[in-house]
Chains A and B, each alone.
Chain A
Amino acid sequence: KAGVTQTPRYLIKTRGQQVTLSCSPISGHRSVSWYQQTPGQGLQFLFEYFSETQRNKGNFPGRFSGRQFSNSRSEMNVSTLELGDSALYLCASSLGVTNTEAFFGQGTRLTVV
């Protein structure tokens, strides 16, 4: 069974631009969560989607948004990029809202210059 797939793996953007990251969960998994990993702040929860609905949201500014499609694939968008948005963005999938076991993708490394 294929794992969680994140695209692209690496991305370089300029301050002020926007970026969209994609995540395809494990087949059959309906819940997708996003995390940001930085050396200074560690791993922080961004948001969770289940059945195309945002179920939970972390403490990030409104520039960070996401969505989930009917096939459970998810995208996250960051607008007006700042240097501090440089991070590894990790997507995790799980079966559903009552199942907490999460499987992670390899991440997208975003560099803002």
Chain B
Amino acid sequence: AQSVTQPDIHITVSEGASLELRCNYSYGATPYLFWYVQSPGQGLQLLLKYFSGDTLVQGIKGFEAEFKRSQSSFNLRKPSVHWSDAAEYFCAVAGSGSARQLTFGSGTQLTVLP
């Protein structure tokens, strides 16, 4: 069965600082990987996705993520955080066929200090 671990429940960074959110996945084959962001009371917005090819993927709002098969990781990064980035971030994995549903990590809450 597929699974996702986000080891950091809560991260606090200062505005303008760099950010890295960690994500480790478990899946037997090549996974489809996603990062979503959720503001309070809202749905999930897709930041970026990895299906295949280049292991460094660019997303919206200046985010990027790197797929590292050897480490089963898909960490999210941003070079300079803005106050509007404060939200909860979810990493998700999907397989194919009967395993194509999204399996989410428990999320990382990001606080941005002025």
Please list the residues of chain A having a beta carbon within 8 angstroms of any beta carbon in chain B: 4, 6, 33, 35, 42-43, 45, 48, 56, 58, 90, 92, 97, 100-107, 109
CA gap between A1 and B36 in the complex, in Å: 20
Q: Which residues of B contact A106 (CB under 8 A)?
A: 42-43
Q: Which residues of A contact B105 (CB under 8 A)?
A: 42
CA gap between A101 and B35 in the complex, in Å: 11
CA gap between A42 and B94 in the complex, in Å: 16
Taking a contact as CB atoms under 8 Å apart, the answer to whether B49 and A42 are in contact is no
Known A42-B107, A100-B32, A101-B49: A48·B43 in contact at CB below 8 Å: no
Taking a contact as CB atoms under 8 Å apart, the answer to whether A43 and B90 are in contact is yes
Give residues 56-109 of B contacting A (CB, 8 Å).
90, 94, 96, 98, 100-107
Known A42-B107, A43-B90: A102·B42 in contact at CB below 8 Å: no
